[in-house]
Chain A
């Protein structure tokens, strides 16, 4: 009995997970922008330029939105992104 209960629970959990994935698919009648134009993909990650742009936008919001500590953190993240870009374009062997 217990084995059966566990099996049912496992199936329920797996089904819930599958439903969550299914919910991310485009609604019927709408275009899949991800396949069509590489836009709004569920698993897309920012390019380094997009990341830097986003961080800059947040830094510009200034002390009205962020504390001094948070602004320092954002500036640190901007420097990190800039360092990555420099490292990618670094000359030499």
Chain B
């Protein structure tokens, strides 16, 4: 056969194969969520307390889209994207994260959240490689974010162990090309080791170790070890969860890390609904006593938010999107630490209608009186409630409102702080998930 014939045969067979059968049988999984809400507040958008605080009212929209390509039970590519309008009317014809909410739209505003390969390897080891969502085993107060790295997990019959390496940042991020030869040398990294064990069906215990290193700003060399235990058990109708964390190592060349945190959560059926309670202590103070929480290059901590107390203003709101302000943004609380105590109650009125109410208190664990001149460590009391109605299995509409009575933390002995209006926030929300 002449070479031209061989070529013709190969091209024809290739074409025929490509058209007649897919290159690889893939299971395509699409998922997504749409959230839009109207917000009326005197605090949430600005994040600033004030006397005669102006009313802020705005519409927010968020869409998240996920696509997973499953080549087999053991190989899948996971992707997730986000498209936000931080508020309706913000900009159009722009290249802006969260922009495009104004007349005309037409903006480049897609955000890539996750891109990773999920592999089941021999010996029952699962590997996740790439930009993935990962959180600590302490209700997310240390880290809960998207991060690039490798996570290996091995599951036993009653236990699971995972080990990971994640690169949070590299100094070359902001460097010139001349500095690229130091890539990988001045970095912010995390090594994680996490174990969980089911003692009985109701009782699970775990231990986790996270090592954070950061030498991007030499000579400052951060090497913080975070070690903790966590557990969950049921005693009759009562479910208890909790953890304890201690930190050691070097916060910097001259300062040792001495942070710690304790948590206890409880949940129990009471009457027609479920009662909840949460207590959290995160240490604060000078000389490395406050809890170390890794921060991204944009300065915001990637974790540290405590959502289990279901607050709106006192700590971060579970419905907040890019506009995300709270009295206590993360549990480090500007090196003051935090003491949270909260109770809540959830009830399903009908299969479609549900409601919740929450009451929470907050104290700064340790304030520096010489600097802050606060009358007390008491941040205040928040009361909030919400109700949700399922229009369809995948569509929910709801309302959530919160009001906070500011504590004496916001008053000063000298009167220098002035007085602030108590903050409030009301949201009307529509959600669709598929």
Contact = CB atoms under 8 A, between A and B. Distances in A.
A91 interface: yes
Nearest to A91: B318
A13 B80 contact: no
Contact of B8 (A6, A45, A49, A90): A6
A87 B116 CA distance: 14
A7 B28 CA distance: 33
B300 A93 contact: yes
A83 to B, nearest CB: 9
Interface in A1-34: 2-3, 6-7, 9-10, 13-14, 16-17
Size class of the contact patch on chain B: 35 or more
Given A2-B5, A6-B12, A84-B31, A92 B64 contact: no
B31 A93 contact: no
A92 B12 contact: no
Contact of A3 (B5, B31, B32): B5
Given A48-B434, A85-B433, A89-B33, A17 B19 contact: yes
A49 B1 contact: no
Nearest to A53: B393
Interface in B151-180: none
B132 to A, nearest CB: 10
Interface in B260-317: 300, 305, 307, 316-317
A38 interface: no
B33 A91 contact: no
Given A2-B1, A49-B434, A92 B8 contact: no
B64 A3 contact: no
Nearest to A84: B31
A91 B317 contact: yes
A47 interface: yes
A91 B434 contact: no
Contacts of B64: 88
B433 A92 contact: no
A92 B324 contact: yes
Given A9-B12, A91-B317, A93-B300, A47 B20 contact: no
Contacts of B318: 91
B12 A88 contact: no
Contacts of B324: 91-93
Contact of B16 (A3, A10, A45, A91): A10
B31 A48 contact: yes
A16 B322 CA distance: 52
Q: Identify which of B12, B15, B324 gathers the most chain A CB atoms within 10 Å of its CB.
A: B12
Nearest to A87: B133
Given A49-B393, A89-B33, A13 B133 contact: no
B372 to A, nearest CB: 27
Nearest to A83: B133
B322 A93 contact: yes
Contacts of A84: 31, 66, 68
6 contacts: A6-B13, A9-B16, A14-B20, A49-B394, A89-B33, A92-B316
- For the complex of A and B, the 7 pairs showing the least CB-CB separation, nearest first, are A88-B33, A47-B434, A13-B16, A91-B318, A10-B12, A6-B12, A17-B20
Interface of A: 2-3, 6-7, 9-10, 13-14, 16-17, 45, 47-49, 51, 84-85, 87-93
